[in-house]
Structure 1
Amino acid sequence: MIKQIAVERTLLAAWQSITPLFMQKHGSELVPLLQAYEAHRTEMVRLLDKHYTDKLFTKRDRSKLEDILGTMSDDLVTEQSDDELKHIFEKYNDIDFDSVRAEQNDMMRVAMEEILGKELSDDFDPNSPEQIQQHIEAAMRAEDEARQAFQDSQAKRKKSAKTLEKEARQADEAQHATQSLREVYRKLAGALHPDREQDDDEKVRKTALMQRVNAAYGKNDLLQLLELQLEIEQIDPAQLNTLSDERLKHYNRILKEQLAELRAEIDDIEFSFKMDFNIPPFQPLSPTELIPTLERDIADFKLSIEQIKAQLIEFENPKAVKTWLKNYRQAKQPSNLEDIFMDEIRF
């Protein structure tokens, strides 16, 4: 149990230290690149749309441009409130943008209502991660409250002899566990009480240790109290192997609660992080990989920006567009600009 807690403590510390660093680096380095990249993509859409009617292009060329502009404008107009982009989207997709988005929002609303098990208000925005997170957290709280209400109602019912016996045993175990915690605390307090120390330097050291003892006891942190006992050599590590089964049982009960609290705290941090950055809830994440992954994304976007900037200059000439279109594979049906301008025209 102590080893498991040590692992979870390390993981929690990693999340707590990496998250603010990631958010700062993401906001100061990646977000400006994303914005610049989106601006260049928008410029590319407008440029290709301007060339579309050029007499240089054949019917086949225009068919390819329709595919490209339909896909690119769809990706961009979703993120921007731009009437010109909306017009380009409708021009090359032959559908009404507002109707499509309303239908998609209705589908997302239905999906969220099925997940949450309740109807959502008219002002709910299915495209808002903040609102989705708020509704999920509210649903979780409601579920916890309903579970507690059920448990309370069950507690009011007449209990069987077996149930009473089980509750008495659990209460007895809890009492013993508390006593075990209290015993460790008393031993530490007796050894570290600064008022009993005459040496000034030793009194300062014991005062600091006693503050740690009080903090650990206030949180029912048995593990920290045991570690403090080892630190001041109040117990030998080998002594833990000689504890009675009953004492170990009480220690493990407290440690199990600490482990559950640690895991719940980690889950909360990870869930909030995924919601903030639109990451699927079941996708595994390692805090140690966040910064390296972010740095790779930053490097990739810097390269992509340089590529699309060069392509914009080249594509001012419609002949360059026509040459590029010869190698464009229309059947590929690219899903976004990366497929079009990172695979097809990589230098």
Structure 2
Amino acid sequence: MSLDLKISLLPETSQTLSPQHKKLNKLIDQIEQQKQDLALWQNAQTDIQSYIHLKLVPIYADLHGLWFKQMQALWQHLQQEDFSKADTAQIDTKLTKLAQTLKKSKNLNTAQMDLVTEVAQFYAQAKAHSQNKKKKKAKDTQQSFDEASQENTAELEDWQNHDWDAEQWNDVQDNEQYQQQREEHQRKRLQQKREQAERLAEQSLKTVYLKITAMIHPDREPDEAKKIKKTELFQVVSQAYDQQDLFYLLKLQLQLETNKGLSPKVLTDEHLKFYKMALEAQSQKLASQIDDITDSLHWSDRPKAKNMQVKDVYKVIDADVVALKEQVKWEKERLKYMGKVSGVEVLLENNVL
């Protein structure tokens, strides 16, 4: 269904548009573009997913397999060998990151996932124990501070600094947890906005539909020729209502009111407010639908482009393929060192574990 219903395109009113009407026409243009963009993304989505499956999935499978072998090797070394406190902290940090990443993997078998879960649970329990210990130490520290003399102050600071290395790897998890909570909060806010827009669009849809049917209902038309035309239009309107096409119905309402002689000068502020509110709800809903598709096609750690185009997705995929292949090569070399304790020590010395 397509109708050219922008008031600004009507010759008799082109010179009398108010600023509010100009904004309304701008919003109509925006929605027209959004509808085209949504159709483009919907048509491209399947092809892009197939391209991802072909290009990226095999590389991620190799990468996750390498990370699992690294985790397995480090976990065994940690159980069997004695490392220094600083080296143990680095290994703990690495194992925590690997376990957290692999928990989300779909490329590991059941036995491998069992080990990943075991490692992840171990560090989760260690973190909880460390946090409880920190609270107890903080309480004891405060009591000691209240009772201690100035001669004991330096000793107290030394004791506090002594605990920092042991908690270094916990800071990584704390930061990751904060980021996860922040992302979850943003997702909830976005979901609330979407739900609000959907409710508003649904209410507006019914209101506009009733107004249109009141104007064009065939049973109220005595002229047989006009009755036939109104019957056809009524069927189209009913189809648009069933498809929840608020945008089409609202544009049709504007056209019908204009055809009845209700010029832009006569449209009230209440009309303009309602049209703008309804169209903004429709625009937000379309934007959400586009975001849902583009989010599903965005896996990179880099922020998603604000106005991402289909061609941009393919460019990102190709760039990631190159980068991931290089990473796989490096992870294979790193795994060779992790096979022996002496190799792990080399990685630790060079801060490339």
Tell me the TM-score normalised to structure 2 length. 0.45
TM-score of the two chains, using structure 1 as the length reference: 0.45
